[in-house]
Amino acid sequence: MMLGVNGARVESRGDGTALALLAELGAIPEHSALTVNGDLVVSRRWSTFQLSDGDVVEVLTFVGGG
């Protein structure tokens, strides 16, 4: 399925869940936040949240430091 991810077109080949997409992207779930079509998807739903062709996804990764 084709998705818009952080402003780029990405073809996802996983099982269609938000969690699978994060794995494909190499994102660390514990350090990430996710919106789909402008709506926040809470992390407890990622393993069951089904993405659809054409969805616009923003993956935000938290980085700490000092």
Flag whether 9 is in a domain.
Answer: yes
Parent domain of 15: 2-61
Specify the number of domains making up the chain.
Answer: 1
| pLDDT at position 11 | 97
Structure tokens at 38: 């402008």
> What gap in Å lies between CA 37 and CA 64, rounded to an integer?
27
pLDDT of residue 6: 98
The pLDDT assigned to 26 comes to 95
On whether residue 66 sits in a domain, the answer given is no
Phi (first) and psi of residue 3, to 5 degrees: -130, 155
Tell me whether residue 15 is in a domain: yes
Q: Is residue 8 part of a domain?
A: yes
- Using pLDDT thresholds of 50, 70 and 90, give the confidence band for residue 47: very high
pLDDT digits 0-9 by tens, 11-38: 999 899 999 999 999 999 999 999 999 9
Q: What CATH number corresponds to the domain at position 10?
A: 3.10.20.30
